[in-house]
Structure 1
Amino acid sequence: MNIKPRYVALLMVLAVLLGAAGSYIGIEYFAKGAQESPQTESLANADQNADNPGNTSGEEQNKATEDQSESADLAKVEQAFSTIKENYVSEVDNDKLIEGAVQGMLDTLEDPYSVYMDQETMKQFNQSIESSFQGIGAEVSMVNDKVTIVAPIKGSPAEEAGLKPNDQILKVDGESVEGLDLYEAVLKIRGEKGTEVTLQVDRPGVSEPVTIDIIRDDIPLETVYSNTKEVDGKQVGIIEITSFSEKTSEEFHEALTKLEKDNMDGLVIDVRGNPGGLFTDVQEILKEFIPDDKPIVQVEDRNGEKSRYFSDRKEKKDYPITVLMDEGSASASEILAATMNEAGGYDLVGTQSFGKGTVQQAIPMGDGSTIKLTLYKWLTPNGNWVHEKGVEPTIEVKQPSYFYTNPVEIKEELKYNDNNEKVKNIQKMLKGLGYEPGRTDGYFSQGTKSAVEAFQAENGLEATGDVDEKTGGKLEEAIVEEVRKEENDRQMDKAVEALFE
């Protein structure tokens, strides 16, 4: 059969749409309490109308009109494909036109979480994940068309190097990532263990871009860490969740069971810097704590229809609980925090969370490419949508100011009388380390010079009072060491204190 190229295009577009609809049905069926997909219902009825042309009920006439409109829209796509294919000044590849059409449709959604990966990108992405689990270890997202760090993974090279939530990546190894989609940028950042990547990032509150060198390494796969802390004769259990993966709820249950057997008097759940993950796993964890009288989470589809998820637990735990969160807590972490507060009445300690209130599903397109599409909003037990707003703590606590300092980038020595953001950053570090710079406004004063001299003398450096590359490196090392000390973690201290207030 001889089919003109424009009809091939139309058939390919239809295949894309029908393939998505088929996957969408499976997703809806999998979700408890979800309604049948309106898109699927429309397609089914269209087939029935075609088989029964004499049926002219008002509802079916409306559907027929909608089908005619959709056919006209597809005809427009077909015409555009044919016009470009047959008339453009250079020969055009069919596949590229189709790929561009699919990408263009997703771009019009203006949703950073709905993305398309073509066959080659998907192949590279899967290989980079499956082969080694190596890279820098950071969750990223598109925010205002910028590749943005949601949170570095605990113990990862990204965390060690000083990447922070809301850092926006401008360049990778000197090459701009502007115009790249999320996964294209990610593939540039990833790489083999032991190799170095240089990121230039735009950091909120810093006037100049920050350059960060990171040595790629194996990314830790463990997602649950637990320990105990004795406070005034009481045993406090601490469970940190770094992300929500397939085994997180199982690991959490094991950790919680052990702490309960050891007769802990209270529990702190720490989801700071946790970028989220699997929707199902956070539900399983919440079922450990939330009674069945309130939903643990709600999901709303495109028509406003809500599905509510409940636990089968009859009563709350007999010990107090607090949840720790910060600006790097996103998605599933925010579900946990909001639900523990609204349905459990537990305090949230820390700072406002990231603000991601949507649920995505990866939808294979049948040819090796994939669409990750936003299908639902998730809502808190009380029906609140935290998207782009975040979850507010009930007890706001910020870390010491030196926790928020930046890597020291020295191109020219910082000296007396300099006045800039880099000096301000150094002053915050000195103050955090116990050296009094006199001021922290960015002016390199005599007091700052004296503080630098004292730091240099105590760290085996020439006491010049100027900040060169060696001094900057030593300052960074000292600050990282301070940040890692448990006694400096104000948020954790308050979370423990709040248990017994």
Structure 2
Amino acid sequence: MVFKGRMVLAYVLIGMFASSLLTLLTINFFYPVISINAGSADKLNPTNASRQQAGLTSKDLTKLQTAYNLIHNQYVTEIDHDKILNGAITGMLSATGDPFSTYMTPDEAKQFQDNVDALFEGIGAELLMIDNKITIDSLIKGSPAEKVGLRKNDIIVSVNGEKLEGLTLYEAVAKIRGAKGTQAELSIIRAGSIDPIDIIVVRDEIETQTVQSEMVTKEIGKIEIRQFSARSTDEFKANLLGLEKQGMKSLIIDVRDDPGGLLFKVLEIVEPFIDKGKTIVQVEDRNGKRQADVSNIKEPVRKYPIVVLINKGSASAAEILAAALQQSAGSKLIGETTYGKGTVQEPFLDEMVDGSNIKLTINKWLTPNGSWIHQKGITPDIAVEQPDYFDVMVLSKKETLKFDMNNADIMNMQIMLEGLGFSPERKDGYYDMKTVAAVGAFQKANLLAETGEANEVTMKEIENKISDKIKDSKNDLQLKAAIDLLQSTPAS
């Protein structure tokens, strides 16, 4: 299971690759820029020709070749050529000390690009690794997975006869996705079924939705941006127009747990709210030269009140949006201090020639007023924390939890129980008699065997109930604060 968007859980969309998260890319950059420091540049990002190339000496090359030969010929077991080469490149990037500069193999680079495009070929399901089992979390509407009857919480055991046991989530994703029109024969285990069920899914092209919207009151609209992909601007504009047609007078933009994406897309999304000539973001190169991206809007600026929801998962492009609206449009930020990623990456796919990719940090970005928020984050105007149960971890379910045990699973379960109204009166991970009573009360209320011990069935039910509570917008204190603020703010 996953506690959507507001839980500390890792999940991967089939076709996504984890290294794309927390990334700000400068693909197809074309916004107007103003030089901040002395000097000028033809464009924000230098061309390949203008980059200094430090070159390796013959001695350096001999050293590298010697190291390769030693590993290839002398290591106790045979090591694949590509594995050694890829490891060498990864090592060079690791020497930067920058976690956002990474190397991708051709397969990984393809998945990375799929994520950027929000378009891939596969079955259309979101997967989680739960208890070392590949588990379906949700299905994309209209996808092949939905059409053949796959369900949330189905466990995928094998694909086309290949078992998934022992694979990482990424490795399993690579086997499940595939070319449009090809078949994936899945063997799944479903709750209530004793034997595995075999289901054939014909893969197709899948479009992932990065923007969603709704009217939260008669006059307040909310747009959630999950990431800034190639499709996000069009999706945002369509959702914004839809809300305006429904009579929206003020807007909430939700970028909580948005890990970032394409730089030029966040600029396109923000521009309609910022007066022409005002700064959206500044970028600084390795020599300290700054350039400012400014609004070049050609239509009337939307002047209705805007609140931006942020949290510790809001990163990179999401932070650019928050800072731009706060400092150049007067919008208020509500929630928690953001992640704090103030660097810009550029992909070097063409240069790598074999389909692999180096994603390299090339610039810093700064807020309109010149602040560098890296490793600091952006502080909200109104700090609002969610209830404790919004941040619990999924339970491992490795063993039945019972009296006198003490571990992290018990602590997380205690937090969930308190959130569900079955308070054990402690959240320190010790399973005392009050925890026994709280578990027993939960079991009784949910028609489970009333043992006071938390077995796998009980833990799953606790997780399901707390997941439902988190999804209920009435329990979203940050959203409630945004609505309260906008309702007290007269529309212009």
Task: Calculate the TM-score normalised by the size of structure 2.
Answer: 0.70
- State the shift of 1:333 in Å: 0.6
Counterpart of 1:302 in structure 2 is 286
Counterpart of 1:402 in structure 2 is 389
Q: Take 1:351 and 1:242, find their aligned partners in 2: how far apart are those partners?
A: 17
Q: Take 1:424 and 1:438, find their aligned partners in 2: how far apart are those partners?
A: 11
Q: Take 1:405 and 1:416, find their aligned partners in 2: how far apart are those partners?
A: 21
- Bigger mean CA deviation after superposition, 113-122 or 291-300: 113-122
Q: Which amino acid aligns with 1:343?
A: S
Counterpart of 1:275 in structure 2 is 259
Indicate if the aligned counterparts of 2:311 and 2:335 stay in contact, CA closer than 8 A.
yes
Counterpart of 2:433 in structure 1 is 446
Counterpart of 1:132 in structure 2 is 122
- State the shift of 1:332 in Å: 0.8
Q: Which amino acid aligns with 1:482?
A: K
Q: Take 1:39 and 1:422, find their aligned partners in 2: how far apart are those partners?
A: 51
Question: Are positions 1:257 and 2:241 aligned together?
Answer: yes
Instruction: Find the partner of 1:360 among 345, 350, 365.
Output: 345
Q: Which amino acid aligns with 1:387?
A: H
Indicate if the aligned counterparts of 1:153 and 1:242 stay in contact, CA closer than 8 A.
no
Q: Take 2:469 and 2:368, find their aligned partners in 1: how far apart are those partners?
A: 39
Give a deviation string over 1:436-479, Cα, whole Å, max 9, x none: 32333333233222222221111111111121121111111111
Change (3 A) 1:485 1:321: same
Give a deviation string over 1:65-104, Cα, whole Å, max 9, x none: xx9xx56x52332332455578889389987776555444
Indicate if the aligned counterparts of 1:296 and 1:309 stay in contact, CA closer than 8 A.
yes
Q: Which amino acid aligns with 1:78?
A: L
- Bigger mean CA deviation after superposition, 432-441 or 328-337: 432-441
Counterpart of 1:483 in structure 2 is 470
- State the shift of 1:236 in Å: 0.6
- State the shift of 1:487 in Å: 0.8
Instruction: Find the partner of 1:343 among 321, 328, 346.
Output: 328
Q: Take 2:404 and 2:71, find their aligned partners in 1: how far apart are those partners?
A: 61
Q: Take 2:87 and 2:438, find their aligned partners in 1: how far apart are those partners?
A: 58
- Bigger mean CA deviation after superposition, 123-132 or 106-115: 123-132
Counterpart of 2:227 in structure 1 is 243
- State the shift of 1:122 in Å: 4.1
Instruction: Find the partner of 2:317 among 332, 338, 363.
Output: 332
Within-5 A mapping of 1:451-490: 451-490=438-477
Indicate if the aligned counterparts of 1:352 and 1:391 stay in contact, CA closer than 8 A.
yes
Counterpart of 1:76 in structure 2 is 59
Q: Take 1:259 and 1:478, find their aligned partners in 2: how far apart are those partners?
A: 31
Instruction: Find the partner of 2:209 among 222, 225, 230.
Output: 222
Indicate if the aligned counterparts of 1:431 and 1:437 stay in contact, CA closer than 8 A.
yes
Within-5 A mapping of 1:58-457: 73-81=56-64, 83=66, 90=73, 101-119=88-106, 122=109, 130-132=120-122, 136=126, 174=166, 186-187=170-171, 190-192=174-176, 221-230=208-217, 235-313=219-297, 317-363=302-348, 364=350, 365-457=352-444
Q: Take 1:389 and 1:40, find their aligned partners in 2: how far apart are those partners?
A: 34
Structure 2 unaligned residues grouped into runs of 5+: 1-25, 34-39, 129-136, 146-151, 154-163, 178-185, 190-200
Give a deviation string over 1:157-197, Cα, whole Å, max 9, x none: 9xx88xxxxxxxxxx9657x8xxxxxxx8446554176789
**What SS does the corresponding residue of 2:216 show, helix, strand or coil?**
strand
Q: Which amino acid aligns with 1:270?
A: D
**What SS does the corresponding residue of 1:436 show, helix, strand or coil?**
coil
What's the Cα RMSD here?
3.8
Change (3 A) 1:131 1:88: closer
Change (3 A) 1:188 1:74: farther
Counterpart of 1:23 in structure 2 is none
Identical aligned pairs, as a percentage?
Answer: 38
- State the shift of 1:328 in Å: 1.5
- State the shift of 1:423 in Å: 2.2
Q: Which amino acid aligns with 1:271?
A: V
Q: Take 1:460 and 1:88, find their aligned partners in 2: how far apart are those partners?
A: 61
Q: Take 1:93 and 1:416, find their aligned partners in 2: how far apart are those partners?
A: 51
Indicate if the aligned counterparts of 2:124 and 2:140 stay in contact, CA closer than 8 A.
no
Change (3 A) 1:221 1:130: closer
Aligned residue pairs: how many?
396
Q: Take 2:107 and 2:311, find their aligned partners in 1: how far apart are those partners?
A: 36
Change (3 A) 1:484 1:38: closer
Q: Which amino acid aligns with 1:304?
A: G
Indicate if the aligned counterparts of 1:438 and 1:445 stay in contact, CA closer than 8 A.
no
Q: Take 2:41 and 2:458, find their aligned partners in 1: how far apart are those partners?
A: 62
Task: Calculate the TM-score normalised by the size of structure 1.
Answer: 0.68
Give a deviation string over 1:240-278, Cα, whole Å, max 9, x none: 111111121122112212322333221100111111111
Q: Take 1:94 and 1:435, find their aligned partners in 2: how far apart are those partners?
A: 57
Give a deviation string over 1:216-241, Cα, whole Å, max 9, x none: 999760111111122xxx51111111
Higher-helix-fraction structure: 1
Change (3 A) 1:307 1:469: same
**What SS does the corresponding residue of 1:131 show, helix, strand or coil?**
strand
Q: Take 1:100 and 1:432, find their aligned partners in 2: how far apart are those partners?
A: 46
Question: Are positions 1:35 and 2:41 aligned together?
Answer: yes
Q: Take 1:131 and 1:42, find their aligned partners in 2: how far apart are those partners?
A: 36
Indicate if the aligned counterparts of 2:402 and 2:453 stay in contact, CA closer than 8 A.
yes
- Bigger mean CA deviation after superposition, 93-102 or 394-403: 93-102
Q: Which amino acid aligns with 1:77?
A: D
